[in-house]
Structure 1
Amino acid sequence: MSVRQLSKSEWQSYCDRVSKGLQGKRAQIEVAALHLGDQIATKWVPIFGISYDPKDDIVEVALEGLDHLIHRPRSVTVDEGTTGLSSVEVLDGEGRKQIVKLAEPLMLPPPASNVAPTPSP
């Protein structure tokens, strides 16, 4: 697996790209903190999307029956392997790790290019 930390400038576009492929996927959310230990917030429910709102500085994970909000994220780390994305870890403003695990890896589409194709003569 390849674990990498996203730069803050990538968060919104990465979440948008991931959300496009989540239809029919299931996810589990774990919250880990020294004072809490590891807690399961939700187990293997349908996931609809992940988004980052830079204006309010919130990561939202939309699941069946739950909108899981992560306030003031400090970092976003993704675990992508040859089979696709398996988890997203968000460190929140209070130092808790919030880990979104996918039941099955998600193959991501390539990032959109901002370069316009050159016209042929």
Structure 2
Amino acid sequence: MADTETLDRDTWQAALDRMTEEHAGELVTIEILDPEIGHQYEAERLPFSYLSYDPRDEVVVVAVGGATARYPVVLRHMVQRPREIDVATHDIPEPAIRVVDGDGGATLITFYAAG
């Protein structure tokens, strides 16, 4: 990701909570970038629900749906044992977060304005 900031592990929980507040009401795409299985979309421009980090279980969770009758079910994508979180939020059309897991795979979370 160009022009990114790698977050300090101590700030992950607060930073992801802040991203949840800042991107409420937006749409999100979740892409899985895995060296073994390749590039796959898990969700494309679905209503964003939340993004969180649980330090006790060492997991990042991004959730979509659950807020409207059109998307009543919440889909949760979990990244186990994250080792790096990068954010690109300034001077780009769509803010994005990349979470690298313990095995070297990455999840790319991209935000889009709704409507």
Q: TM-score, normalised by structure 2?
A: 0.83
**Aligned-pair distance for 1:94?**
1.7
Cα distance in 1, alignment partners of residues 19 and 30 from structure 2: 16
**Aligned-pair distance for 1:34?**
1.5
Equivalent residue runs for 1:1-121 within 5 Å: 2-64=3-65, 65-82=74-91, 86-104=95-113
More strand per residue: 1 or 2?
Answer: 1
Cα distance in 2, alignment partners of residues 92 and 84 from structure 1: 26
Opposite residue 46 of structure 1, the aligned amino acid is P
Deviations 1:48-79 (A, max 9, x none): 11000000000010111301111100100001
Runs of 4+ with deviation above 4 angstroms: none
**Aligned-pair distance for 1:46?**
0.3
8 Å Cα contact 2:32-2:42 kept in structure 1:
yes
Q: TM-score, normalised by structure 1?
A: 0.79
Larger Rg: 1
8 Å Cα contact 2:96-2:108 kept in structure 1:
yes
* Structure 1 unaligned spans of 5+: 105-121
8 Å Cα contact 2:48-2:63 kept in structure 1:
yes
Cα distance in 1, alignment partners of residues 34 and 92 from structure 2: 29
**Aligned-pair distance for 1:27?**
0.4
Cα distance in 2, alignment partners of residues 85 and 53 from structure 1: 25
* Structure 2 unaligned spans of 5+: 66-73
| SS of residue matched to 1:12 | helix
| SS of residue matched to 1:2 | coil
Q: 1:84 to 1:54 in 2, by over 3 A?
A: farther
Cα distance in 1, alignment partners of residues 101 and 33 from structure 2: 11
**Percentage of pairs with the same residue:** 28
